[in-house]
Amino acid sequence: MKYRRFGKLDWKASALGFGCMRLPTVGGDRSNINEDEAIKMIRHAIDHGLNYTDTAYVYHGGKSEVLIGKALKEGYREMVRVATKMPIFRVNSKDDLDKIFNEQITRLQTEHIDFYLLHGLNKGIWAKVQDLNVLEWAENNIAEGRIKYLGFSFHDEYNVFKDIIDGYDGWTFCQIQYNYMDTEYQAGTEGLKYASSKGLAVVVMEPIAGGMLAVTPPKEIQAIWDEAEIKRTPAEWALQWVWNHPEVSVVLSGMSTMEQVVENVEAAGRSGPNTLSRKELELVSRVRQKYLEYGFIGCTGCRYCMPCPQGVDIAEIFALYNEYSKKRGDPNAQQEVVNKYGEMVAPEKGAKKCAKCRECEEKCPQHLPVPTLMARAAGIFESSR
């Protein structure tokens, strides 16, 4: 495992952090975590040098924090720093802050939170943070030793990101979405460099765009990867591209299988700032351009949009839409995706059921034009229904 300085702190984080939003589940129920397998995965990563775990109050229907508490028994808690998040979007008073935080401490079976984030800040939620004096509440908990360091995760435009950083001197770190498809999206490269210049550690989420950059690529894209002297899987290309940035402190991966854990731990051992060659960076840039030509949808599969009031299976439809787009130029392969849609998405959960209420758009961290994209998906997948 390689380690990287965590902002101004006299501590180094493992290059790879365990993102606990996509743990293995049973029966298709995201709140029903396969506990035995998830614990084995987390402990395997820690045994191989990982020292940063990231969860949140809402992940896996509230069960992710509980699972982390169980996984970090038997001496594992002392081996890692735990990060979790306050869901400001669910907070309406100081009593709510105390209630949620105390519940998190209980779930995690710990006396303190090492790295505590205000979850999913954007312009509106940042205003709410100020109105409710959340920062003062956090400072009181820091003084009492229940929170060690304060940060925030972010989903909005760069100017808002800059305002949040400049609006409070007590930030230790921030968490942003960043991958080779999102260089100019939300905080983007400019935000990464600005946060680092201010001494903040930068934790990167969605380095593989919710897994979309790990799937078997179209032939044209694979041909580009094949030009590289060092052969890597699509997932490792995505991870190494993020690790190549010296401003990055930790790269989170939402691992769902032991195979992914093993592969990512090994990849982290090969990582380092400024290790990709100029030719390799050019290959990544060409792949990015090709994906944009295919109509890549930036859905990360976070499912914050769910449940849909009309029952539309938004995340599954977007995953299939992306799969269909990546098979451009291969009608037979695209037809296979259409057939898969028919098998996996019931008519009552299909794209045609979208009522354009836009409730999902308000919840989507990516601010995707969901109704517009649903109409396109319906045209592809449901023309014969």
Give the CATH number, domain containing residue 134: 3.20.20.100
47 with 172, same domain: the answer is yes
Q: Where are the alpha helices (DSSP H) in the chain?
A: 35-47, 63-71, 94-108, 123-131, 134-143, 158-166, 188-197, 219-225, 234-243, 258-269, 278-293, 314-325, 331-344, 359-363, 370-381
Residue type, 378: A
Mapped onto helix, strand or coil, the DSSP state of residue 245 is: coil
- The boundaries of the domain holding residue 99 are 3-290
Average pLDDT (344-355) is 93
3-state helix, strand, coil in the chain (%, to 5): 45, 15, 40
Q: What confidence score (pLDDT) does residue 219 get?
A: 83
59 and 145 in a common domain: yes
Name 202's bridge partners. Answer: 174
Bin 74: left if φ > 0, else alpha if -120 < ψ < 50, else beta: left
* Range from 88-92, 162-166, 267-271 carrying the lowest mean pLDDT: 88-92
Task: Round the average pLDDT of the chain to a whole number and report it.
Answer: 93
pLDDT of residue 287: 95
What number of H helices and E strands is found in the chain? 15, 12
- What pLDDT is recorded for position 211? 82
Q: Are residues 264 and 338 in the same domain?
A: no
Determine, yes or no, domain membership for 146.
Answer: yes
Residue with tokens 């997932």: 235
Query: 292: pLDDT confidence band, cut at 50, 70 and 90?
Result: confident
What is the total count of domains within the chain?
A: 2
Q: Does some domain include residue 302?
A: no
Give yes or no: residues 144 and 220 share one domain.
yes
Among 149-163, 173-187, 295-309, the range scoring the smallest mean pLDDT is 295-309
Residue 234 lies in a domain: yes
pLDDT of residue 385: 62
Decide if 303 is inside a domain. no
Closest residue by Cα to residue 298 from 313, 318, 328, 279: 318
Domain-embedded: residue 106: yes
pLDDT digits (tens, 9 = 90+) for 99-129: 999 999 999 999 999 999 999 999 999 999 9
The Cα 133–Cα 97 span in angstroms is 11
- Region for 198 from its dihedrals, namely left if φ exceeds 0, alpha if ψ lies in -120 to 50, beta otherwise: alpha
Same domain? For 183 and 325 the reply is: no
Q: How many CA atoms lie within 13 A of 375 on its CB side?
A: 6
Contacts of 50 (CB under 8 A, 6+ apart): 1, 14, 16, 17, 18, 80, 265, 268
**How far apart are the C-alpha atoms of 303 and 301, rounded to whole Å?**
5
Q: How far apart are the first and last CA of the chain?
A: 51
Rounded distance between C-alpha atoms, residue 318 and residue 92, angstroms: 32
The answer to whether residues 71 and 197 belong to one domain is yes
Is the residue at 214 inside a domain? Answer: yes
Which residues are CB-neighbours of 51 under 8 A, at least 6 positions away? 3, 13, 14, 79, 80, 81
Percent of the chain with pLDDT over 90: 79
296 is a domain residue: no
* 251 and 129 together in one domain: yes
The answer to whether residue 367 scores a pLDDT higher than 80 is: no
Last residue of a domain, one of 236, 258, 290: 290
Cα torsion 350, 351, 357, 363: sign: positive
Q: In this structure, how many other beta carbons lie within 10 angstroms of the beta carbon of residue 192?
A: 21
Contact criterion met (CB below 8 Å) for 20 and 34: no
Instruction: Answer yes or no: is 295 within a domain.
Output: no
**Same domain assignment for residues 365 and 284:** no
At residue 376, the pLDDT reads 86
Specify whether 340 is located in the same domain as 252: no
Q: Among 274, 290, 306, which residue terminates a domain?
A: 290
Question: 43 and 125: one domain?
Answer: yes
Whole-structure pTM value:
0.85
DSSP for residue 352: G
Q: Does 300 have pLDDT greater than 70?
A: yes
CA dihedral of residues 86, 92, 93, 96 (deg, nearest 10): -50
Same-domain check for residues 50 and 139: yes
Of 257, 290, 323, the last residue of a domain is 290
Residue 330 has pLDDT above 90, yes or no: no
Q: Which residues contact 260 (CB under 8 A, 6 or more apart)?
A: 235, 253
Assess whether 342 and 261 both reside in one domain. no
User: What pLDDT, on the 0 to 100 scale, is given for residue 215?
Assistant: 80
